[in-house]
Amino acid sequence: MKDIFKIGSYTFNSRLLVGTGKYKNFQETKEAIISSGADVVTVAIRRTNIGQKNNEENLLDIINPDSWTILPNTAGCYTVDDAIRTCNLARELLDGHNLVKLEVLDGGDNLLPEMDKTLKAARHLIEDNFEVMVYCNDDPSLCLELDEMGCVAVMPLASPIGSGQGITNPDNIVKIIENSSKPIIIDAGIGCPSDACFAMELGCDGVLMNTAIAESTNPILMANAMKLAVESGRNSYLAGRMKVREKANPSSPISGISSK
């Protein structure tokens, strides 16, 4: 049976979502995205031109919305009004596209979500018929609140954005997954393919990353490695791992065999 990845009204084949920042140029961005096999490409509207600046190179000339689902995000927003305004700008530039990634930051060095503002912005956007994927802390109670208010995907951080620390609190991630009726997508902190694989083995529905690919020595190769890691972790989760035992257990039976 086909393993369907559904977010809101959208259906995807790949469970790896990728960003577009920090690459040397748009051409490298495109090559890495192709290598990743991702269907969803997230774009920081406040930092990347997708048509709002006529005199600058347009990312959509390289990343065609007919080939990828563009996921506008509100990176760089620190207030509810800025986040809402950015989402509306994205909807206008993308001809009514309603799927957005919401993030409202606290202004600190770790770029952590400001959750009170995130909750307020999410409610407003949902009421305005946006399909909201939301970046948030790895707090099970807050994640459940975002789920129940109608966000189409909940995206807890693994660790601070761009840190490459991997999943620092796997117990919380598991609790979030167990409580959720919506896709849980790890967002921020992934550093290498084993981090992505681990996230999927925990039961996450997907992984979003940017820096781990863009800042690697070979982004094209790393993008492909991340693709394989996400696929492997998902297959491992679906297959079900063996039981962990306190003692050794022989692979071949030893009963009836003489020790002499």
Phi, psi of 105 (to 5 degrees): -95, 160
**pLDDT, position 255:** 63
Measuring CA to CA, which residue among 100, 132, 138 is closest to residue 119?
Answer: 132
Q: For residue 140, what are its two tokens? A: 């099970």
CA angle 120/141/157 to nearest 5° reads 80
**pLDDT, position 260:** 57
Which segments of 82-180 are extended strands (E)?
99-102, 131-136, 153-156
Q: pLDDT digit string (tens) for 219-246?
A: 999 999 999 999 999 999 999 988 888 8
d(CA 59, CA 79): 26
Q: For residue 180, what are its two tokens? A: 């959720």
The residues annotated as belonging to the active site are: 101
- Given a cut of 90, whether residue 176 has pLDDT beyond it is yes
**pLDDT, position 193:** 97
d(CA 103, CA 112): 9
Run of H or E including 98: none
Question: pTM above the 0.85 mark?
Answer: yes
Q: pLDDT digit string (tens) for 189-223?
A: 999 999 999 999 999 999 999 999 999 999 999 99
Q: Which residues contact 175 (CB under 8 A, 6 or more apart)?
A: 140
Q: How confident is the model at residue 257 (pLDDT cuts 50, 70, 90)?
A: low
Q: Which residues contact 250 (CB under 8 A, 6 or more apart)?
A: none
What percent of the chain is predicted at pLDDT more than 70? Answer: 97
- Burial 225-254, CB ≥16 within 10 A → b, else e: bbbebbbbbbeebeeeeeeeeeeeeeeeee
> Residue 229: what residue type?
A
Q: How confident is the model at residue 1 (pLDDT cuts 50, 70, 90)?
A: low
Residues 101/73, Cβ–Cβ less than 8 Å: yes
Q: What rounded mean pLDDT belongs to the chain? A: 92
- Given a cut of 80, whether residue 247 has pLDDT beyond it is yes
**pLDDT, position 54:** 79
Q: pLDDT digit string (tens) for 99-144?
A: 999 999 988 777 899 999 999 999 999 999 999 999 999 999 999 9
